[in-house]
Amino acid sequence: MHRLLRTGRRLGPFFLLAILFLLASCAPATTSGVIAVVDSATTVTPIARPPVVATGLPPTATTAPTSLPTGSSTPTAAPPTMIPTATITPSPTPDRNTLCSQRIPDNSLLTIVTLTYGLSRDYEPAGLVELSGYLPIDVTLGYPTQLRRVAVTPLVDMITDMQAAGLQPSIISGYRSYSAQAIARQKWLEKEPERANILSAPPGFSEHQLGTVVDFGSPELPEIVGQEDIEFHTYFYKTSEGVWLLENAHKYGFTLSYPFEAFDITGFFYEPWHFRYVGVEMAAHLHEQGISLTEHQLATEPPPCIPDPE
């Protein structure tokens, strides 16, 4: 080193500059990675997701790691603990840097909707159909209920099998637009203020806006609860229909969105009547793992949007 510096002195300042340049370019690559993390933390909400330091990706890319082919560009990154198969990998949301109040998701069956990650008031899913064209009135109860076409055949198959087993499921609610959700919320606030938070989400934060969710009813519920006009009650889990759905809905691609034990994760109270169509493969996966879709999504996907300031 001493000789090197002496030679450097002979060669002048250009040599020293060259040495400095060489030293700088040998600095650990993670330095830029750390900067990227700090940058991205200012633009996205922190949530459990794969470490971004090792990827060396620019900040914008760190917001959508799950859409990248696994392992192809991140040889040093640890593999995710739960690897979804290709068919249950959610399709990438176009822009995760949107405010949630402006989020218009694509038509994926796996759009995240929680009390944190809401939907735009302008979002309306594609392919809504009227259920009365597919199910008898003793199931639809004469309500004008809509659902996305993709979920209708599995629903009809499931209800047909339930009826064959001697059950009498009804459908109390399906798609709800943002404004319909606002009306429903208001109704519950007036009718049962102490249960409004249990019975409805604020507009924009309901999975019903996705058009793939069904609220089921049972003729046994009034007697079990001891109230004639009851539509929704936790005791739905005690009804024959509730028991059957919990055991079998996944075979038709439906999953219970808000299980009893998942309140801390979903932010929703237990809703044993509320089932969401996610496709057979994902529903079976969730059933096998004993987790809710929200739990799965928050563990494996980056935030879908930026929560609006209060």
Q: Of the two residues 184 and 282, which places its CB atom closer to Zn ion in the complex?
A: 184
**CA atoms of 305 and 104, how far apart (whole Å):** 10
Q: Of the two residues 50 and 258, which places its CB atom closer to Zn ion in the complex?
A: 258
Question: In the block, which residue shows the tokens 């020293």?
Answer: 16
Helix (H/G/I), strand (E/B), else coil: 204: coil
Q: Of the two residues 215 and 301, which places its CB atom closer to Zn ion in the complex?
A: 215
Least spacing, CB of residue 274 vs Zn ion, in Å: 4
- 238 near 204, Cβ under 8 Å? no
Q: Of the two residues 124 and 231, which places its CB atom closer to Zn ion in the complex?
A: 231
| Segment near Zn ion (CB under 5 A); pick from 107-115, 220-228, 232-240, 266-274 | 266-274
Question: Per CB under 5 A, does 217 bind Zn ion?
Answer: no
Question: Per CB under 5 A, does 274 bind Zn ion?
Answer: yes
68: Cβ contacts below 8 Å, ≥ 6 apart: 61, 74
Least spacing, CB of residue 127 vs Zn ion, in Å: 20
**Cα 223 to the center of its chain, rounded Å:** 35
Alpha helices in 54-171 (DSSP H): 137-140, 149-164
16-35 mask for Zn ion (x: CB under 5 A)? Answer: --------------------
Q: Of the two residues 215 and 241, which places its CB atom closer to Zn ion in the complex?
A: 215
Least spacing, CB of residue 266 vs Zn ion, in Å: 12
**CA atoms of 100 and 112, how far apart (whole Å):** 11
Question: Per CB under 5 A, does 296 bind Zn ion?
Answer: no
Pick from 203, 174, 175, 171: nearest CA to 187: 203
Q: Of the two residues 123 and 216, which places its CB atom closer to Zn ion in the complex?
A: 216
**CA atoms of 152 and 128, how far apart (whole Å):** 10
Least spacing, CB of residue 242 vs Zn ion, in Å: 14
Q: Of the two residues 258 and 306, which places its CB atom closer to Zn ion in the complex?
A: 258
Helix (H/G/I), strand (E/B), else coil: 276: strand
Phi, psi of 148 (to 5 degrees): -65, 140
- 246 near 272, Cβ under 8 Å? yes
User: Which of 135, 215, 250, 258 is the binder for Zn ion (CB under 5 A)?
Assistant: 215
159-198 mask for Zn ion (x: CB under 5 A)? Answer: ----------------------------------------
| Segment near Zn ion (CB under 5 A); pick from 52-60, 116-124, 213-221, 239-247 | 213-221
**CA atoms of 286 and 293, how far apart (whole Å):** 7
To the nearest 10 degrees (0 to 180), the angle between helices 280-289 and 293-300 is 90
Least spacing, CB of residue 139 vs Zn ion, in Å: 16
Closest residue (Cβ) to Zn ion?
Answer: 274
90-129 mask for Zn ion (x: CB under 5 A)? Answer: ----------------------------------------
How far separated are the first and last CA of the chain, in Å rounded? 60
Helix (H/G/I), strand (E/B), else coil: 47: coil
Helix (H/G/I), strand (E/B), else coil: 254: strand
Q: Which residues bind Zn ion (CB under 5 A)?
A: 215, 274
